[in-house]
């Protein structure tokens, strides 16, 4: 058991490292991330490059649940974190999130 002050120090250090995000202004609810979105994006993009899939379009479902990604670390990744990872890739001009008839997808460059 840690005193409240110690807990706050640990949480602040996680936030500084990019592994924690506060979900409310009062700092009572937070998301702890094993990997930062940029790290997930890097793993996804390495898979794209390794498999020669640039200029390909995937649904979000295919990326995290498809047979092609079954052995990848990002397989089964939560959709919220997947979107954050893809947004990080989009900022680097390596991907573009697109809207499809039945949901969202991504095109890799």
Query: Do 52 and 85 belong to one domain?
Result: yes
Query: Do 100 and 53 belong to one domain?
Result: yes
Query: Do 102 and 50 belong to one domain?
Result: yes
pLDDT digits (tens, 9 = 90+) for 14-59: 999 999 999 999 999 999 999 999 999 999 999 999 999 999 999 9
Q: What is the total count of domains within the chain? A: 2
Query: Do 42 and 78 belong to one domain?
Result: yes
Which structural domain, as residue segments, surrounds residue 72? 37-108
Give residue 1's pLDDT: 87
pTM of the model: 0.84
Query: Do 13 and 42 belong to one domain?
Result: no
Helix (H) or strand (E) holding 42: helix 37-50
DSSP state of 74: T
Rounded CA separation 50/93 (Å): 18
Rounded CA separation 62/44 (Å): 12
Query: Do 49 and 99 belong to one domain?
Result: yes
Distances (CA, A) of 98 to 4, 27, 62, 79, 81: 43, 33, 14, 15, 16
Q: At 103, is the pLDDT very low, low, confident or very high (cuts 50, 70, 90)? A: confident
Rounded CA separation 77/63 (Å): 9
């Amino acid at each position: 058991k840690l005193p409240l002050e110690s807990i706050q120090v640990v949480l602040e250090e996680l936030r500084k490292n990019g592994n924690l995000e506060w979900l409310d202004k009062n700092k009572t609810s937070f998301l702890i991330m094993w990997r930062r979105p940029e790290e997930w994006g890097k793993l996804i993009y390495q898979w794209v490059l390794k498999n020669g899939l640039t200029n390909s379009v995937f649904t979000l479902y295919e990326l995290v649940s498809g047979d092609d990604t079954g052995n990848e670390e990002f397989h089964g990744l939560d959709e919220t974190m997947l979107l954050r990872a893809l947004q990080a890739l989009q900022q680097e001009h390596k991907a573009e999130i697109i809207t499809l008839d039945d949901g969202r997808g991504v095109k890799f460059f």
